Amino acid sequence: MEIHDDGQIFFEGVSAEELASAYGTPLYVYEENRIRQNFRRALAAFRKYYPDTRFFYAIKANNNLAVANILRQEGAGIDAASVNEILLAREIGLGGDDVMFSGNFLSDEDIRQGVESGVIFNLDDLSLLPRVLKYGVPERLSFRVNPGYGQCDIGAFVCNAGPDAKFGLHPDQVLPAYKAAKEAGVKRFGAHMMPGSSIRDPEYFGYVTGLLMDLVGRAGQELGIDFDFIDLGGGLGIPYRHEDAPLDIEAAAERVAQVFQQKIAQYGLKPPRLMMEPARYFVGDAGYIIGRVHAVKESYKRIVGTDIGMNVLARPALYGAYHHIYVNRREQEPRIPLNLCGQLCENTDLWVRDRALPQGTQVGDLVVVENAGAYGYAMSYQYNGRLRPAEALVNGTRHVLVRRAETIADVVGLMNVPDELKK
């Protein structure tokens, strides 16, 4: 995104005004070239220090198939959190070893479909193993390990490792899990963890890699098994606030590789493939929301009402996440504390409070929300009759609609009213 001398906001070579005119607001916008640059930067850093590295894209963060295809073209596999995400991967031509299935608290039907899909099955808990075995012995199996510690730069609610997380094997269960899988006839193994969310400290990635490698290394050494792959999860962070420093991806990759190779040697393991499954790092800062101001209310405070509500972007209302706000053609104006809300009948929809924004902001202005490419549209929902917005993809001066906005016909079409209720 760039702000030109006249104050206009551009996404690559396309203005916010042109996109709003073409597709309406609210509108999610993704910069294709930024996605590709992010992926290439990260992969080059990790392969520099550990050549046998493969990235999988955690499609839960942004399930638009145009976005997923960009990353497939760059060489990414898909990390699927549900059976339906396995099917999304299939829509872009990926399956088998190109898809990692890391569901949690699965139903028997989830397990059956996961096994029959032929993708890499990553079990969140030892209790799932007997249920998986009802459908046959997989040739290869992975376990998700909770390394006992997690970190998150965007709040405890999304820290998915450590004692308060619901995910993964307890450290004491790692050896019994692999022992049980080996005794059941599994021949090939993987290991997986999630280190946390949106972490920007390179040293942390080395530290948490060591925790995982000690747990699975001891299991491999004691049981005489090697690992086809060890997946370090995601967690590569982006700066949401302008004063935050970005992750030094080169330093993170170097530290991870050092620890990874040291632990491989320590436990006498055959060198496995190093895998990771970022999403936010690839798409987070490549996505934006364009909205329009529809009312300015003078009450106890000045409240700017836009068509971007918590139904469009849930993160601020859900766990206090910060997103930077721009106002088209007004960024050079003096700033005053303003409040920004959506159009929902909920006070949590007042999701920007006392933020320094351009004082001349008025009805008709376009506002732009930054860092909305990950966990933006994917977490949107219908409420108060408000519908999910459209999504557009920009490449240079070209733009294309990659998901149309919902209509009321989409909502009504899913419902059935019995004839007796129509009388």
Contact 205, 235 (CB under 8 A): yes
Beta bridge mates, 121? 101
136 near 115, Cβ under 8 Å? yes
The answer to whether the CB of 342 falls within 8 A of the CB of 310 is yes
Q: Does residue 345 have an active-site annotation? A: yes
Burial 61-70 (b: 16+ CB within 10 A, else e): bbebebbbeb
- Our CA angle for 198, 201, 202, nearest 5°, is 115
Give the closest residue to 26 by CA, choosing from 353, 321, 340: 340
Q: In the structure encoding, which two tokens stand for residue 286, read together?
A: 């490549």
Q: Which of 152, 159, 341, 345 is catalytic?
A: 345
Question: Cα-flanking dihedrals φ and ψ of residue 193, to 5°?
Answer: -150, 170
- Identify residue 236 by its one-letter amino acid code: L
Distance CA 197, CA 9 (A): 29
Q: Annotated active-site positions, please?
A: 345
